[in-house]
Structure 1
Amino acid sequence: KRYKADQGQSVYQINRCHCGRKSAFLKKAGFINYVIKHFFEEGWSLDVCANRSLATGEFSHYQTVCTRTLYNYVDQGLMTIKNYDLPEKLKRNTKLHHVHQNKKKLGRSIEERPKEIEQRSEFGHWECDLVLGHKTKDDQVLLTLSERMSREFLIIRIPDKTSASVMQAFQMLQKQYSEHWNDIFKTITTDNGSEFADL
């Protein structure tokens, strides 16, 4: 019932040795030699080697590895087959370039904020955040703005926490303060939440 640190550490180290995926490369040497032989002598692709060995019954499923694993072995330099022996692989662009539509746009770091803002000596520097209720789907959201020097506080109710709703609230504010906007809102600091991505 007592815990002993030394014994606990030794048990942890033993368990750590047994965890993680083990490479099947050494256990499947017969199949690897079969692949290398037919690749160089018959000109078979790695895919043909993997599938034909199963189809002809020369190897069971437990004695082989899949095509993807064979390519990984080539990349890791475990086989005598090299990437330059695979002309199709060098020609083919296997990486698909997806454009991430929802990629997070991070704003400037708070470290770049002018030091005079920290001293609260000038009016017009605001901090902004969202306040969520119970975080249910149809719950109301409050956009809060706090002025650092005067501690003036603005609260605007918005329908949800999307960046579109936040932008709509700011556009409404800008219209409300019109020509005084730049005097009242000199800087606005937010966190890097996705709701402020469009600011």
Structure 2
Amino acid sequence: MFKIALSLLAVVSLSACGGSAISNALGGARIQVPAPTPPPAGLTPTEITSPAGGGFTFGISSGGSNLGGVINAGAQGYAQLLPTTVNQPPLTGGTVMNGTYSLDSLTLVPPGSPPDPSDVQLRNQPISLTASFTDKTLTGTAGSLAVNTTITNGILGGTVTYNGVSTSNMQGVISDDRAIGAFVIQSNTEGVIVAGGFDVSE
């Protein structure tokens, strides 16, 4: 059974989070996304849901412990998928999916200075992503966000870039007509934390 770890907390790698896992359920025909692990103490994350089920949840905590070697005065990014089940995507072909990305961003000036919750900025913007099931990719840009992900058995990996800062600390799922992703970007040198996700459909 193919699995990747689910939890996306600050700069902790996906495989080291010890949270829930996305798995291929029902003999590999469908992909199951379990309930997310709890957010950092004191954080009430934003939830973006869909009538089709699932979605993502995200936020930036301005306090708490330095989990996973995170510096920046304890600020933590949090982003996870909400529970849902999607079909496996086809092996060939492609499509264009449209929807929205939503994220919180925080820039600490200077880097490492104490975070101020009032400095967290929320952004929602339309995005169009191109899925190539033949090449096993999902890519696209909108505003300051660039998605450059790969598809493995219906599970997304790869990188997300925001304002020139990239991360591989992302995960998501894709079917023939919908893709959902969640990501956390953190640069200790730039003093940047971004947490968010996207939900697009055909």
Question: Larger C-alpha radius of gyration, 1 or 2?
Answer: 1
TM-score by length of structure 2 reads: 0.24
Q: Larger strand proportion, structure 1 or 2?
A: 2
Q: Larger helix proportion, structure 1 or 2?
A: 1
Relative contact order higher in (CA < 8 Å, ≥ 6 apart): 2
